[in-house]
Amino acid sequence: MYLLLVIVSYFIGAFPSAYFAGRFLKGIDIRRLGDRNMGASNVYRHVGHAAGIVVLAADIGKGAVTIMLAQRVASQPVVFVCGLAIVVGHNWPVFLKFKGGRGLAATIGVLLALLPVATGILLAACVVPFIKTHNLVITGSIIFTPLSLLAWRLGASPDLILYCVALPCFVGLVHFATTKNLTQEQKREALYM
């Protein structure tokens, strides 16, 4: 039963909201434009601001809702594996030949469900810097860098604190791996929404 839950989490994570936004709204494959990322930021730039915001909400939502459901039926270690499966599904969706996003929004959703107060505080803290800069690295740093400390201060378990460090580190590695062969212009684009 737990294996099925992990598999379902992968398939929910693999739902390609950015791809559908590009296809249905502009008739384009978002993976062929800009920084070639199948994420909200690329949709925001090449499909439209409203579409990018909807994709961002959908990608955060699929992480948060799936984890909230998993928490009802599974132990914490299984929930952690489900969170990873969501991000893996987002990054390597079976529906699109395993070419997806970088997992930032899906990770935010997972952590928002696991640590709603801590993640919510840090999301609120990054709103103004994000509006001013549209820089995803700055935004991600504001959310993820202090998250473990804030989670600790709010009484989170050691396992959860470690997880809220490990999952963003995984996303950072994916970001590095998927941008290292891009042109300088594409790399710059990958930093901004």
Whether the per-residue pLDDT at 130 is higher than 90: the answer is no
Q: Return phi, psi of residue 30, to 5°.
A: -60, -20
Residue 130 contacts by C-beta under 8 Å, 6 or more apart in sequence? 138, 139, 193
Q: How far apart are the two ends of the chain, measured CA to CA in Å?
A: 39
Indicate if the pLDDT at residue 134 is higher than 90.
no
Q: How confident is the model at residue 1 (pLDDT cuts 50, 70, 90)?
A: confident
Q: What is the pLDDT of residue 182?
A: 80
Contact status, residue 44 vs residue 53, Cβ threshold 8 Å? yes
Of 86-95, 113-122, 128-137, 162-171, the range with the lowest mean pLDDT is 128-137
- Asked whether the predicted pLDDT for residue 138 surpasses 90, the reply is no
Measured at the CA of 185, the angle between CA 100 and CA 28, to 5 degrees, comes to 45
Q: Residues 21-46: what's their mean pLDDT?
A: 91
Cα distance between residue 115 and residue 131, in whole Å = 24
Whether residue 187 is predicted with pLDDT greater than 90 in this model: the reply is: no
Q: What is the pLDDT of residue 112?
A: 97
